[in-house]
Structure 1
Amino acid sequence: MAIAAKTTAPATKVAEKKTKAVKTFSYYPADDVKSRLPSSKGNRKVSKLRSSITPGTVLILLAGRFRGKRVVFLKQLTSGLLLVTGPFKLNGVPMRRVNQAYVIATSTKVDVSKVNVSNIDDKFFAKEASKTEKSAEGFAKQDAKVQNTLPAAKVSAQKDVDTAVNAAINAVPQLAAYLKTRFSLSKGDAPHLFKF
């Protein structure tokens, strides 16, 4: 009988350990409780500028409306975005902000030391709030096509920057033709082997 008692004692200890490990819940919430995600509004870091991108570097845009176009880099804005221009009269790209993740930096440079872009910042690109009328007359006016015109300050700033950049481009032979051409890949091209 002593032998039988010895064999049953370890079995009960193992059974006790198994019951302690399993948790049982008496209630489940009917709806999922939504928790707030941490906000990253106040602690955004400005992205570090790549070493290959310096003022005057010719960049190739990879995304957006002007993808494939070559543009001239002017400066990095406080938001971390890059300020670039075509210039507009040369290849149709106006002054705009671009994320550096969507550009390829080339080895071609333009002398932009005489270009003044100190007054251009992120506020320059802010859109004006449109005032809509809630009356029936305001609704009828919305049906008519309204042309969006740029403010005179933006137009004059574009002209000032473009004249200075065009003067630097015209000083280098064949640079204007290079900026006009679009970048594209054809079948069999290996972009990882390109030297820009």
Structure 2
Amino acid sequence: MARSKELVFAKRGLYKGLKKSEKPAAAETPATVEKSIGGDKNGGKRLVPTSKAPRFYPADDVRIPKKSRKTSKPTQLRSSITPGTVLILLAGRFRGKRVVFLKQLESGLLLVTGPFKVNGVPLRRVNQAYVIATTTSVDLAGVKVDDKINDAYFAKAVTKGPRSAEAEFFEGGKPKAKEAFPESKSADQKEIDKAILASVKKTENLGKYLAASWGLSKGQFPHQLVF
């Protein structure tokens, strides 16, 4: 059974070999303290516990989650990926398509576009682990990507309402109604693609290159190709 680093760390007792700080250790609190008790029949002095025990105990052992010492680090962008670089998608609905990289979002995902008019790929977020960076690039001098296009921009609206189990059963066989694409997002797509298309037209055959899908033929290996 595979164990995580935290479990191996605790099981092997690796925490015992950690470097200790140079600060002096705080004095340990004694378990009991001797106090004087008034009255003739109380004996004068008595040992009293410093921490009072709880009155009730849980019936079952409650597992306390282990505190993680990991710190989240921002995803580092590959050196071969710069704004304007043409990427090849390797997974997802548009795998095999060539897209133009615009910027990296706070989540570490890449913001790309087809453009939509060239190959049908809209503004999307992709993981850099599933793309191939090519040496071809598009000049993004006139392209302006608003700050509003971030991770929250792609969040889907969740609609919750009172529904019975009977209604869900009968609606299961019905085809789902297609939601209308927001006009605001359509306007953002057209505005960004308009500037990119103007830059693509300046380079000969670049539009055909973006429109063509990528794939491997028999006997070809990706690690032997130069993109």
After TM superposition, the score normalised by the length of structure 1 is 0.74
Structure 2 residue ranges without an equivalent (≥5): 1-59
Residue in 1 that maps onto 2:26:
none
- Residue 118 of structure 1 and its aligned partner are, at CA, apart by 2.6
- Residue 44 of structure 1 and its aligned partner are, at CA, apart by 2.7
Paired residue type of 2:153: F
Q: Secondary structure at the match of 2:197?
A: helix
Whole-angstrom distance in 1 between the partners of 2:217 and 2:66: 44
* Structure 1 stretch displaced more, 175-184 or 185-194: 185-194
Q: Secondary structure at the match of 1:160?
A: helix
Is 2:140 aligned against 1:112?
A: yes
Structure 1 residue ranges without an equivalent (≥5): 1-30
- Residue 190 of structure 1 and its aligned partner are, at CA, apart by 2.5
Distance 1:32 1:187, change over 3 A: farther
Whole-angstrom distance in 2 between the partners of 1:158 and 1:76: 17
Choose from 65, 68, 74 the match for 1:46: 74
Residue in 2 that maps onto 1:178:
209
- What is the 5 A alignment of 1:140-151? 143=174, 145-151=176-182
Whole-angstrom distance in 1 between the partners of 2:134 and 2:81: 8
Choose from 140, 157, 178 the match for 1:128: 157
Paired residue type of 1:69: K
Equivalent residues, number: 165
CA contact (8 A) 1:76 1:82 kept: yes
Whole-angstrom distance in 2 between the partners of 1:104 and 1:130: 37
- What is the 5 A alignment of 1:1-196? 36=65, 43-119=71-147, 120-134=149-163, 143=174, 145-196=176-227
Whole-angstrom distance in 2 between the partners of 1:39 and 1:66: 37
CA contact (8 A) 1:62 1:104 kept: yes
- Residue 146 of structure 1 and its aligned partner are, at CA, apart by 1.8
Paired residue type of 1:195: V
- Residue 33 of structure 1 and its aligned partner are, at CA, apart by 8.3
After TM superposition, the score normalised by the length of structure 2 is 0.65
Residue in 1 that maps onto 2:47:
none
CA contact (8 A) 1:61 1:102 kept: yes
Larger helix fraction of residues: 1
CA contact (8 A) 1:77 1:122 kept: yes
Whole-angstrom distance in 1 between the partners of 2:86 and 2:206: 10
Whole-angstrom distance in 2 between the partners of 1:71 and 1:163: 15
Residue in 1 that maps onto 2:20:
none
CA contact (8 A) 1:117 1:161 kept: yes
The RMSD of aligned alpha carbons is 2.7
CA contact (8 A) 1:132 1:138 kept: no
Whole-angstrom distance in 2 between the partners of 1:128 and 1:43: 30
- Residue 45 of structure 1 and its aligned partner are, at CA, apart by 1.9
Give the percent of matched residue pairs that are identical in Structure 1 and Structure 2. 56
Residue in 2 that maps onto 1:26:
none
